[in-house]
Every structure is written in structure tokens, then in C-alpha cells.
């Protein structure tokens, strides 16, 4: 079996709100799969169902080859979950936190201590392992939280917006940790609001809107859906934007104008010919360009193209079920510990 996660026709309703509406998803073993979507799209609901914290109303959901409804204990033995909020105790040291999670998973005192030391070394926390977590930086806390989710060496790891609130350095630290995990064979399902994060980490990406997958593919494949290469021209004089826009070698309807950035942009097919023609036309008209560049569409553009922005602030919650992820790692840890003991 090549897929670590299989979701077919999953549905979940909260009252009159359809959180998942026939969600289909497949995640290959040993890969990072990104799950993107606007607020309210159903991402967190999907993760909670996969992690056995919720039950789908309909559909087939399997993790590591086991059904999340009828074989939940087997799923819990094989999975880890990192929610949006850290579930570690700030008064305890990093090592004490990991030992505590190990004991919850019935590893025994000696094995829990040894596993804590292994994970501290793996995530570059050995030197700070005996310090209280309240003295850790944001990136260090998230690495410790990630380490805690790996106590039982899960086959599948769910990361629900793992770098929310982190600065670029802390985000980079978590990215490196995730790459290391996947290099060791772990399958990762990643939900994130940072499109750069998905671009950097994900082997494949599924875009979710209104509880359904509306697009699926590699980052490059999704970018191709928006169009191929684009040409961007930044002018010195914003008053000549409209004039310059008419000089691009594409239909006028395809040219976008950003007055605030003094930029015009359009999709092109023959990239070098379009660049040369644009430069000649601007020079002939005496229009001075501050910058001219060819580029691929960004995931931001893909996201807006596929989902629009009308849902961005809808409902005030990330999903119909809310973002009640604080403590979910501990929650699922208790369930997994029960499953391991079964």
C-alpha cells in the first residue's frame, strides 16, 4: 500500500454548517502533503477526524492502513499530532516534558528517559534540555512540542499550522526538523496559512474550499493552473502605468495594474520574446522602468485564483469546529496511550 492516508467522500456537519462536503484526499507514504485553504475551509476538521478526535458523519477515512472509526486504537498507535498551540508544561524542563509524555505512552521510566535524550539530541535541544520551558524561545518550544509528538516514533504525523506566531528564524528551525523527519520515512500532513511554508516543504498540495478539495498537485502543477510565466514591470512614474500596460504583448484584459506598487503584470507564453518586446516598446515611448522581471506565479496567486478571498474572514473561526487545538496533543496522547495499552 503506497498511501499512508486515504479519505474518500468524508462529510462532517455542525448544525446547519457543512464543514466537510465530500472531501477526497490521498497522501503517499514518506512524503509531506500540504493542506491549504481559507478560514472555514475544513482543514482543522479534517485533521481532527484523521487524528480520531472527531468522527466523520460519512465517508471512508484510513490512516496507516487502518479505519479511523472501527480501528481507532491501531491508528493512535501509529500517529502523532502537533496542534496550533504548544501542549508542553512551561514549569518543567524540556527533558521532564518528554519523559512525562513517554510515561503517558507506557514506555516505562528507563525507556522514557532514553527516548527523551534521543529526541533532545535529534532536535538540537540537548544543551537546554534541563532548563524550564518558559526560558525557551518560540522556535525551541515548537521543536520540543514536535519532539513530544514523536515519542512513539509514529508512521504518520499531523502538523496543524505548526509555525503560527513564530518569527522567520523559529519557522526555519521547524522546517529543518520536518525535513529531517520525512528523510527518516515519516509521512507528514501539514496544514498552514503560510503559503511559502507549503512551497518549501510539501511534495504535493491539496487546496480545500468549502469542505472539498478543489485542486491537487505539486506546487509547480498548481502554479501552472494559474498560467505559465509572468512578466512584471515596475515604473518610476506611476502616472504612466495605463500607457505602459497597453504596450505589453498580451490582450489588455490579461494585464493587471497595481498603482500602489507602480507595477503592471501579465501572463506570457514566449518569455524571452515578451521580455525583449516589452523593453523595446517602453524605450521607444520614453517610459522609464525601475525593474523588469520574468517569474512563475506564486502560491498566493494560486490560492486566490482557486478559492477567491470572500471566505477569508467568514465566521471568525478557522473551521466550523473552531480552533480548539490547545491541548490536542495531550488529548490525542491520552487516547494513543490507551490504544497502546489495549
CA 208 and chain centroid, separation: 12
Note the pLDDT tens digit of each residue in 29-61: 999 999 988 888 899 899 999 999 999 999 999
Cβ atoms < 10 Å from Cβ of 167: 12
What is the distance between the alpha carbons of residues 21 and 12, in angstroms, rounded to a whole number? 7
Mean pLDDT, residues 268-297 taken together: 90
Residue 309 has what pLDDT? 53
Q: How far apart are CA 88 and CA 144, in angstroms?
A: 8
Residue 283: predicted pLDDT: 93
- pLDDT in the model for residue 29: 94
Q: Tens digits of per-residue pLDDT, 254-278?
A: 898 999 999 999 888 888 899 999 9
pTM greater than 0.75:
no
* 130 neighbors 117 (Cβ within 8 angstroms): no
Query: How many CB atoms sit inside 10 A of residue 131's CB?
Result: 14
The domains found in the chain, sorted by start residue, are: 3-223+309-341 (3.40.50.300), 229-295 (3.30.70.100)
Q: For residue 156, what pLDDT band results from cuts at 50, 70 and 90?
A: very high
Comparison of pLDDT for 297 and 199, the residue scoring more: 199
Taken in order 299, 305, 308, 309, is the CA torsion positive or negative?
Answer: positive
For the chain, the C-alpha Rg in angstroms (whole number) is 23
- Given the DSSP bridges, would you call strands 256-258 and 263-267 parallel, antiparallel or unpaired? antiparallel
Amino acid at each position: 500500500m503506497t498511501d499512508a492516508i486515504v479519505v474518500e467522500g468524508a462529510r462532517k456537519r455542525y448544525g446547519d454548517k457543512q464543514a466537510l462536503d465530500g472531501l477526497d484526499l490521498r497522501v503517499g507514504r514518506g512524503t509531506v502533503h500540504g493542506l491549504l485553504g481559507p478560514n472555514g475551509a475544513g482543514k482543522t476538521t479534517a485533521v481532527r477526524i484523521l487524528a480520531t478526535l472527531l468522527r466523520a458523519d460519512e465517508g471512508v477515512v484510513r490512516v496507516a492502513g487502518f479505519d479511523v472509526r472501527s480501528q481507532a486504537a491501531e491508528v493512535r498507535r501509529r500517529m502523532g499530532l502537533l496542534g496550533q498551540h504548544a501542549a508542553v508544561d512551561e514549569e518543567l524542563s524540556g527533558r521532564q516534558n518528554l519523559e512525562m509524555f513517554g510515561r503517558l505512552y507506557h514506555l516505562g521510566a528507563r525507556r522514557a528517559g532514553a527516548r527523551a535524550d534521543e529526541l533532545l539530541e535529534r532536535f538540537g535541544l540537548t544543551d537546554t534540555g534541563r532548563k524550564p520551558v518558559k526560558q525557551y524561545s518560540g522556535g525551541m518550544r515548537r521543536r520540543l512540542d514536535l519532539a513530544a509528538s514523536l515519542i512513539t516514533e509514529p508512521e504518520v504525523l499531523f502538523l496543524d499550522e505548526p509555525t503560527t506566531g513564530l518569527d522567520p528564524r523559529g519557522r526555519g528551525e521547524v522546517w529543518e526538523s520536518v525535513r529531517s523527519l520525512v528523510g527518516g520515512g515519516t509521512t507528514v500532513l501539514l496544514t498552514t496559512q503560510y503559503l511559502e511554508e507549503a512551497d518549501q516543504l510539501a511534495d504535493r498540495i491539496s487546496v480545500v474550499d468549502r469542505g472539498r478539495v478543489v485542486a491537487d498537485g505539486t506546487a509547480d502543477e498548481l502554479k501552472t493552473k494559474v498560467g505559465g510565466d509572468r512578466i512584471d514591470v515596475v515604473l518610476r512614474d506611476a502616472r504612466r502605468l495605463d500607457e505602459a500596460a497597453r504596450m505589453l504583448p498580451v490582450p489588455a484584459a490579461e494585464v493587471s495594474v497595481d498603482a500602489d506598487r507602480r507595477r503592471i503584470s501579465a501572463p506570457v507564453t514566449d518569455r524571452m520574446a515578451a521580455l525583449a518586446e516589452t523593453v523595446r516598446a517602453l524605450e521607444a515611448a520614453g517610459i522609464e522602468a525601475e525593474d523588469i522581471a520574468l517569474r512563475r506565479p506564486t502560491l498566493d496567486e494560486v490560492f486566490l485564483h482557486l478559492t477567491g478571498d470572500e471566505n477569508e474572514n467568514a465566521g471568525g473561526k478557522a473551521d466550523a469546529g473552531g480552533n480548539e487545538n490547545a491541548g490536542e496533543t495531550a488529548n490525542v496522547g491520552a487516547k494513543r496511550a490507551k490504544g497502546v495499552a489495549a
